[in-house]
Chain A
Amino acid sequence: MNCNKETIELMHNYLDGDLTSQEECDLRTHLEDCEDCQHYFHELKRAITLIKSAEQFAAPEDFTQKVIQNLPNEKKRVKFMRWFKVHPVLTAAAIFFVLMMTGMLSSWNTDSELVVSKQEELVVEGDTVIVPEGVTVPGDVLVKNGNLMIKGTIDGNVTLVNGKLIDDRPIDSQGLMASAGEVTGELETVDRMFEWMWYQLKDFFKGVFSF
């Protein structure tokens, strides 16, 4: 190798993309004239090409798993959040259920006092609501947390929640409903949590469909 270090320096700078166009021109002119340098330059470029073809290695198969196992514990909150992300439907269902249950419980528990629909004809005695004899009550009747005694007529549906229908004529014990024939609409008794829920739902959907 007779050529000076400068040319070799130029070659390396060329390979690093550091040459100005003037220097590049100089190098090219020199390479055209000097076979030794041409050879040297070729060897350098070839070495680079060869390096790039070095054997490739892949990490062992369980590599990621091992790394994860050795990580410090993650925060619980993140775990929950991820679970929610993976199961969006269950999450929605769970949230819906929780909301519904709280709503239901509150509406179930808060009013343990007697609730009666507002018809002037109804008479309240303690926890018993009485439809007096010879009186016709217009519209639907709702009695909650109390009993209902029907002597007169109800012109509409009757809903009894958490209460019983009382008949003061003991002989007619089987025909309670029949004796309440004075009810022109449906008579419905609700005295369980789930029936109450069912009633609420039915009511809700009735409301929706009536629009």
Chain B
Amino acid sequence: MDQFIREKIKQVKKGDQSAFGEVVTFYQDKIYQHCLRMLGNAHEAEDLAQEAFIRAYVNIHSFDDRRKFSTWLYRIATNLTIDRIRKRKPDYYLDAEIKGTDGLDMYSQLANGAKLPGEEVESLELERYIHHEISQLPPKYRSIIMLRYLEEFSLQEISEILDIPLGTVKTRIHRGREALRKRLRHV
């Protein structure tokens, strides 16, 4: 598999788009899922996952063949999601008036009669509940927990993906595990 990807990347570096298509097909689920878990919104996740692949293609010449492609790709995707989360806060004030509408605010966009978030969680099956619990972690723990336990990178690789020292990765993964232990002990 590594050999397959390496071969494809060589072709992509020569400018072959169809080889890149195969690379995208290979990683699309992982990257999309990663973005979705980071952002919690399918539309935004697709948007950013697309953006991540396009950036990978455009910057393919800065990728060092001797390193792992997946690490590099996750780094691009993670940086994009972290940027988005940072920028997001001012974007979504529920009571801000929507442009082009007459006095409508974001509250009016919420479905009526929807269950309260708490109730909804109770009705979700376990898998979804876990997904929800992960998404409740602060982003800096969430990204590490996901990379370690869902995408199975080593701590060293995570330190490369997030561009933070190994020691920081360890501290954060400890805290992330603590937080999840508390959240999941009653399941």
Q: List the interface of chain A (C-beta within 8 A of B).
A: 9, 12, 15-16, 18, 40, 43-44, 46-48, 50-60, 63-64, 66-68, 70-72, 74-75, 77-78, 82
Contacts and interface: CB of A to CB of B under 8 A. Distances in A.
Contact of B33 (A40, A46, A56, A67): A56
Given A16-B155, A71-B20, A54 B150 contact: yes
7 contacts: A50-B126, A51-B150, A56-B33, A59-B46, A72-B58, A75-B15, A78-B17
Given A44-B177, A67-B53, A71-B17, A57 B150 contact: no
A12 B57 CA distance: 38
Given A51-B130, A63-B28, A78-B16, A12 B174 contact: yes
Nearest to B11: A78
A72 B53 CA distance: 12
B73 interface: no
Contacts of B185: 43, 46-47
A16 B25 contact: no
Interface string B139-159: 000000100011000010000
Interface of B: 14-18, 20-21, 24-25, 28-29, 31-33, 36-37, 46, 49-50, 53-54, 57-58, 126-128, 130-131, 134, 145, 149-150, 155, 170, 173-174, 177, 180-181, 183-185, 187
B126 A53 contact: yes
A16 B170 contact: yes
Nearest to B154: A17
A78 B49 CA distance: 26
Nearest to B49: A59
Nearest to A15: B177
Contact of A54 (B20, B28, B50, B134): B134
Contacts of A47: 177, 180-181, 183-185
A48 B170 CA distance: 15
Contacts of A40: 181
B173 A57 contact: no
Given A48-B177, A50-B184, A54-B130, 8 more contacts: A52-B150, A55-B127, A58-B33, A60-B46, A68-B18, A71-B20, A74-B17, A82-B18
Contacts of A66: 50
Which of A52, A56, A59 has the most B CB atoms < 10 Å from its CB?
Answer: A59
Given A16-B170, A63-B49, A57 B184 contact: no
A12 B54 CA distance: 38
A58 B29 contact: yes
Given A44-B181, A57-B33, A64 B28 contact: yes
B57 A71 contact: yes
A9 B36 CA distance: 31
A63 B50 CA distance: 8
Contacts of B25: 64
A70 B130 contact: no
Contacts of A54: 37, 127, 130-131, 134, 150
Contacts of A9: 174
Contacts of A60: 32, 46
A143 B174 CA distance: 96
A52 B126 CA distance: 12
The 6 lowest CB-CB distance pairs between A and B, nearest first, are A59-B32, A55-B127, A59-B28, A54-B130, A55-B131, A12-B174
Contact of B180 (A18, A51, A64, A72): A51
